[in-house]
Structure 1
Amino acid sequence: MTQQAVRWTADQVLALAPDAASRKAGSKLGAAGPWSQPGSSDEGAVWGLCKGSGSTPYRTVVDVAGAAGPAYKCSCPSRKFPCKHALGLLLLWSGEDGAVAPGRAPDWAEEWLAGRRARGREGRAGAGAPGASSSGDAGAARRRAERRAERIGAGTVELEQRLADLVRGGLAAAERAGYGMWEETAARMVDAQAPGLASRVRELGAIPASGPGWPERLLEECALLHLLDQGWLRRAELPQDLAATVRSRVGLPAAADGPPVRDRWLVLAQYDTADAKLTTRRIWLHGTGTGRTALLLSYGAAGRAPEQALPVGLAFEAEVSSYPGAGRLRVALGERFSPPVPSATRPAGLTAAEAATRYGEALCADPWLESWPVTLGPVIPTPDGDSWQLADAEGEFALPLAPSSRSRPELWRLVALSGGAPVTVFGECGHRGFAPLTAWPQGGGEAVPLC
């Protein structure tokens, strides 16, 4: 079967764009006009020459079947991944007019593709090889881990004292003190090598300015932070999975040590969040055989999208390995056995009551959990005063939409897709409500990304 037979849709291609400007520029290059010698291979490669402002056309090649998602190479100077030329080439390839015909890759494209696949084989071989660390290296690593644990322990004791002082003096003091008090405390947690604690402390600093009801929200977050401190100080007494969750929440790195699970994985959703230093990409997967939901995380420097990308609605066969912790949602992508291709598969939907129960069960295992991935369906988007909810099409329960989703474009895309009829919706269910990420229309049809 040639790659021409499993072309993606234009929406799936544009979902790879790192920003709106790239999406617009790539769309303009999705026609045959600027391209010469475009082609594709059975192995999942697409290539072509794109006319630019100079005399030499840009050489663009995409490995659609890359081990960690599509990979791109272009001779243009852009620092975006994918660049507008890669997006335009994929849009040309996704069309129905046969503008990109099967063929043999030119030498410049084949050289890059061969190098990528050789490195992938070496990486898999290296991952399966026994560790080469000497006993001295292992001993040094253990001593570093012990010293870090001691610093984190000292940091948590100091944080406990600051939380006790805040509660003793009254929460009104937090409003008077301003953000500086929290930034100083967060800096102390960074010094203690506990970035997870530092992040949660910074979030506390924004609560007093967050509107009515902030004292209750501040007290709730202080209680969760206190619980995390106590979890770290008593981690030796905790069950293994909960202790791993505490280490992760504090900010200690971990390796994906779970056994490989091979399945056909459907891409449910992909979205980015960014702060001043880092862009985090979340890709949700559904195992069509195991029924399991899994999360891929990847990172990019501030202002740059992560390179790993998988368009919503595609499915591929691969192995994944779990990271430690309660729920074991996060996974590392291992060997892939097929390229990502469009799929009509969709997860089975839950009722609103079942979704709330799933979130509650997950919260028992991880008290610091913000949300849990669930698929609702069939449900109908329904206005509820000034807000919206997703109501069971056949039942009496509903889930409110999270405040962050009520006025954003995803709500109106969801309402338009439904048109008053039931839909299936994948998203994240949390204490603030349900955040929709992807939807499927009634009676079949392609997945529609909402974010």
Structure 2
Amino acid sequence: MLLSHGGESSSTAAAVVRWTRDQVLALAPDEASRRAGSTLGASGSWSGGGCDGSGAVWGLCGGGGSTPYRTVVDTTGPAYTCSCPSRKSPCKHALGLLLVRASDESALPAGEVPDWADEWLTSRRGGAEERKREGETKGGSENEGGAAGGVPASGPADPEAARRRAERRAERITGGALELEQRLADLLRGGLATADQPGYGMWEETAARMVDAQAPGLAGRVRELGAVPASGPGWPVRLLEECALLHLLDSAWLGIGRLPEPLAATVRTRVGLTTPAEGPPVRDHWLVLAQYDTPDGRIVTRRIWLHGRRSGRTALLLSFGAAGRAPGQALPVGATIDAEITPYPGAGRLRAELGQRFGSPSPAGTPPPGGTTTDAVNAYGAALRRDPWLDAWPVTLCDVIPVPSGDGWQLVDAAGDTALPLAPAATARPGLWRLLALSGGSPVTVFGECGHRGFDPLAAWAADADTVPETVPLI
């Protein structure tokens, strides 16, 4: 009998999947951890290792001291613990242990969990089971790494006090938006050339004012304006475009009462107001398409893309970590999880919250259905009508071939004469060469983000009609 997620006994749980090397490395919090974990990915670095049918993997790794580091991984989470002093999750030892298992299944034989590993596993799975029971009692759903939904243990909040707080914050944001409108007008009246002068400090000052107004979304966009003058030739055009989008967001907030609710929800999110996930949970078998981290000021944002096998829905999971620490939520790219997600409000409704999971991750499913490069551009255009501040939209391209184009690269439809340029950021990553090697001049299926800067490939699959193709991470 296997254990499903949360430690719940289940005779029907799927077999625990042994992750590939690419899936393990995709869990690394940064490049330094990826390199260090690869160094420890040889069985000679480990002793006393093993695994069991519930998804637990453990091992002892010699370090600088006399006592080896004790490392345990629960692949049903995934979750990790290690006696090393590293604050990263997963640490290099957890990555190395999983790489050992990925390269040689016999290196970590099946066996009984040792006491030092069983103590953590029992505590973790028991806690997850308790949160699940609490969620069922309160009518909520479990969130990985957090408390169950429903009414907080401390009792319901005062709705009248919450309404007054929301009104006061809305008033502050309105004041900030009016001030920002005046500053944009002053910039355009004085000429964009002033923005390139040494010591020009309007951006940081204005961003600080937006933070004071409790509008972090506006503050972030103002800071982005400050980087445009140093972005190379043609920066005045780009600066004018970004100023126009910021003015549009300001105007939308000031007239939010006249907007349809989906667009109004998008505007609230864009200025920085947080709203909870809502609506009935959607249960499906979700293929993990991609996972990557981006630094956003003092925090690190992790983006995980999912695709539902039955619903055909594409969902985005966001999690955040403090500077220097990776977010806690991580999923193996290419695996399929049976889980519930709850969407957030707003146009497009891509972002969702991961809820209860059922069983362990299973082998990869088929890639999402895709279309041509023209379909991708049309999909992005349609999404822009719902959210004018959207940088990119998730799409899957079928039967495309990567080919060089001038100083960059593009994806060309194998059966047509249309193409989509790759985003400049994508051409600078090692994933481009992995895509080229996978293609070898033949058509491939590629998932990524299509935006005004081009197409950013995140995962790919080789064309193979006989087997389910393996998901190849490109980031």
For normalisation by structure 1, the TM-score amounts to 0.94
In 2: Cα distance, 1:105 partner to 1:136 partner: 44
Contact persistence 2:40–2:97 (CA under 8 A): yes
Q: Are 1:17 and 2:28 an aligned pair?
A: yes
Q: Deviations over 1:45-92 (max 9, x none)?
A: 1122223232222221111101xxx11001111112111211122122
CA shift for structure 1 position 42: 2.1
Moved more, 382-391 or 281-290: 382-391
Number of residues of Structure 1 aligned to a counterpart in Structure 2? 448
Contact persistence 1:254–1:324 (CA under 8 A): yes
- Alignment gaps of 5+ in structure 1: none
Task: Return the match for 1:362 from 371, 383, 402.
Answer: 383
Moved more, 100-109 or 227-236: 100-109
CA shift for structure 1 position 178: 4.9
Q: Give the equivalent residue in structure 2 for 1:419.
A: 440
CA shift for structure 1 position 367: 0.3
State the secondary structure of the residue aligned to 2:175. Answer: helix
In 2: Cα distance, 1:78 partner to 1:134 partner: 37
Aligned residue type for 1:245: T
In 1: Cα distance, 2:219 partner to 2:463 partner: 45
Q: Are 1:61 and 2:72 an aligned pair?
A: yes
Task: Return the match for 2:431 from 386, 396, 410.
Answer: 410
CA shift for structure 1 position 363: 0.5
State the secondary structure of the residue aligned to 2:44. Answer: coil
Q: Give the equivalent residue in structure 1 for 2:145.
A: none
Q: Deviations over 1:368-411 (max 9, x none)?
A: 00000001111011222222211101012111111222233222
Q: Are 1:48 and 2:59 an aligned pair?
A: yes
Matches within 5 A, 1:180-329: 180-329=201-350
Q: Are 1:391 and 2:412 an aligned pair?
A: yes
Q: Give the equivalent residue in structure 1 for 2:460.
A: 439
Moved more, 178-187 or 104-113: 104-113
In 1: Cα distance, 2:97 partner to 2:166 partner: 47
In 2: Cα distance, 1:326 partner to 1:210 partner: 30
Aligned residue type for 1:54: G
State the secondary structure of the residue aligned to 2:106. Answer: coil
CA shift for structure 1 position 225: 0.8
For normalisation by structure 2, the TM-score amounts to 0.89
Aligned residue type for 1:116: R
CA shift for structure 1 position 126: 4.2
Q: Are 1:350 and 2:371 an aligned pair?
A: yes
Aligned residue type for 1:448: V
State the secondary structure of the residue aligned to 1:53. Answer: coil
- Alignment gaps of 5+ in structure 2: 3-13, 139-149
Structure 1 residues 211 and 97: alpha-carbon distance in aligned structure 2, compared to 1, 3 A threshold: closer
Q: Are 1:73 and 2:81 an aligned pair?
A: yes
In 2: Cα distance, 1:196 partner to 1:429 partner: 22
Contact persistence 1:378–1:423 (CA under 8 A): yes
Task: Return the match for 2:91 from 72, 79, 83.
Answer: 83
Contact persistence 1:263–1:317 (CA under 8 A): yes
Structure 1 residues 256 and 135: alpha-carbon distance in aligned structure 2, compared to 1, 3 A threshold: closer
In 2: Cα distance, 1:345 partner to 1:385 partner: 34
In 2: Cα distance, 1:300 partner to 1:327 partner: 25
Aligned residues with identical type, % of pairs: 67
State the secondary structure of the residue aligned to 1:27. Answer: helix
Structure 1 residues 52 and 387: alpha-carbon distance in aligned structure 2, compared to 1, 3 A threshold: closer
Contact persistence 2:287–2:364 (CA under 8 A): yes
Contact persistence 1:4–1:40 (CA under 8 A): no
Aligned residue type for 1:112: W
In 1: Cα distance, 2:16 partner to 2:309 partner: 22
In 1: Cα distance, 2:156 partner to 2:41 partner: 56
Contact persistence 2:446–2:457 (CA under 8 A): yes
In 1: Cα distance, 2:176 partner to 2:208 partner: 10
Matches within 5 A, 1:42-191: 42-66=53-77, 70-127=78-135, 129=138, 130-131=150-151, 137-176=158-197, 178-191=199-212
State the secondary structure of the residue aligned to 1:257. Answer: coil
CA shift for structure 1 position 164: 1.5
Structure 1 residues 171 and 319: alpha-carbon distance in aligned structure 2, compared to 1, 3 A threshold: same
> What do you get for the CA RMSD once the two structures are aligned?
2.0
Contact persistence 1:389–1:401 (CA under 8 A): yes
Contact persistence 2:16–2:362 (CA under 8 A): no
Aligned residue type for 1:450: L
Task: Return the match for 1:331 from 345, 352, 359.
Answer: 352
State the secondary structure of the residue aligned to 1:82. Answer: coil
Aligned residue type for 1:18: P
